[in-house]
């Protein structure tokens, strides 16, 4: 059975959110430290205009034949992949919010993060399709 789902396509009259996506490897032993760290710093994103921040601990992250999440961040056997995103109302809000975030004095504590930030992959993404909840 096929179900038709209404889709909002990117159009001039529709302003769609802007997404910053992140993938990291976190030692399993640091799960609770990571959650505390994310709670602290994710609140700063919201303070600077983010609509929502989502942190997801890998539960079903298969090894691929050519590439996969684990290889992308060089995850070790004792590490889990974390997939996260920050949703902003638009790119202008994101650009202003990220500039404030990077200059915020609270960022000095970010150097004590519970994962290897050098293996993080990240990028900004323009929404092109949005399905209603």
Q: pLDDT tens string for the chain (133 positions)?
A: 565 555 555 545 467 899 999 999 999 999 999 999 999 999 999 999 999 999 999 999 999 999 999 999 999 999 999 999 999 999 999 999 999 999 999 988 777 899 999 999 999 999 999 888 7
Q: For residue 44, what pLDDT is reported?
A: 96
C-alpha span between 25 and 115 (Å, rounded): 7
**pTM score, two decimals?**
0.85
- pLDDT tens, residue by residue, 111-127: 789 999 999 999 999 99
Tell me which DSSP letter residue 63 carries.
Answer: P
Residue 5 three-state SS: coil
- pLDDT tens, residue by residue, 42-52: 999 999 999 99
* CATH fold for domain 15-86: Alpha-Beta Plaits (3.30.70)
Cα angle 60-128-44, degrees, rounded to a multiple of 5:
65
């Amino acid at each position: 059975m096929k179900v038709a789902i209404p889709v909002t396509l990117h159009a001039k009259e529709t302003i769609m959110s802007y997404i910053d996506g992140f993938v990291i490897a976190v030692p399993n032993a640091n799960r609770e430290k990571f959650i505390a760290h994310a709670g602290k710093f994710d609140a700063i994103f919201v303070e600077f205009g983010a609509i929502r921040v989502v942190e997801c601990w890998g539960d079903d992250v298969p090894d691929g034949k050519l590439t996969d999440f684990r290889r992308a961040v060089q995850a070790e056997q004792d590490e889990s992949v974390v997939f996260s995103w920050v949703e902003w109302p638009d790119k202008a809000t994101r650009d202003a919010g990220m500039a404030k975030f990077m200059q915020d004095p609270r960022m000095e504590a970010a150097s004590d993060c519970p994962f290897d930030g050098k293996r993080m992959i990240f990028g900004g993404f323009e929404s092109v399709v949005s399905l209603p909840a």
